[in-house]
Amino acid sequence: MRGSVNRRPAPDARPDGRSARADRTRARVLEAARRLFAARGYAATSIEAVAAAAGVSAETIYKRFRNKRNLLLAVLEGQVVPAGPPQESATGFLAAPGLSRVRAMASQRDQVRALAAFSRSVLQRAAPLHAVLRAAAAADPELAGVLHADHQARLRAQRGLIDMLASRGPLREGLTRDEAAGTYSALASPELFTLVTTAHGWSPERYEAWLADTLTLLLLPPPGKAP
């Protein structure tokens, strides 16, 4: 038993060591899955392939995520907000660190430009995985339901962004908050982002500038009209 007295445990043997190891393993799995889903698509990506790329056993992935569907959802969620289960995606989105600065801005026009930058950064990460989800949903009824739920969660989150804007002044005359949220949701959707950055050849920066200009025009009163 020599050396056992007053011996410090190794970092990962401390009470929080197991949790830290699990977090690192989860991050490796999600990154490997993200790369493979984006490169191969949903159907051609197996749990075994993800496990090999992440350097873990397939059993580890099944134990954590249960199936490939849940793995895809976890990957997608991680591109939008830092953490949180899918059912809390709208809440997690509104709590994202990038929005606290926007919430504090006094000018609606400054808010719109900051929101366009925030949405562009989210879409740049998430749009490729949304494309995987849409393709997979065509053959998987459960994923089709998930896709619909994702649209609804995004709309609720973007209604929160509209409430943020409305707290600093009026919206365009005659425009309700729900209508404004629908406009934002359509313009800041992964489908539209993918269209303009692939088929139209826009850079993400050009999309951001267009989004800011268009949201300003469609959501806010003309300059000089706001009280």
How confident is the prediction along the chain (227 residues), in pLDDT tens digits per residue?
A: 334 334 444 444 445 577 889 999 999 999 999 999 999 999 999 999 999 999 999 999 999 999 999 999 899 888 875 444 443 445 567 777 779 899 999 999 999 999 999 999 999 999 999 999 999 998 889 899 989 988 998 999 999 999 999 999 999 999 999 999 999 999 999 999 999 999 999 999 999 999 999 999 999 999 876 55
Same domain, 163 and 107: yes
Query: Could you tell me if residue 207 is inside a domain?
Result: yes
- Residues 81, 79: Cα–Cα separation, whole Å: 6
Q: pLDDT value at position 11?
A: 47
Query: Could you tell me if residue 1 is inside a domain?
Result: no
Same domain, 37 and 149: no
Given the structure tokens 């619909």, which residue do they identify?
148
Same domain, 113 and 212: yes
Structural domain tally of the chain?
2
Q: pLDDT value at position 225?
A: 63
Same domain, 61 and 139: no
Q: Please state the pTM of the whole predicted model.
A: 0.79
Q: pLDDT value at position 90?
A: 52
User: Cα–Cα–Cα angle for 27, 40, 35, nearest 5°?
Assistant: 25
Q: Which domain range does residue 145 map to?
A: 80-219
Q: Kindly compute the dihedral angle of the four CA atoms of residues 198, 151, 90, 110, in this order, to the nearest 10 degrees.
A: 50
Q: pLDDT value at position 4?
A: 39
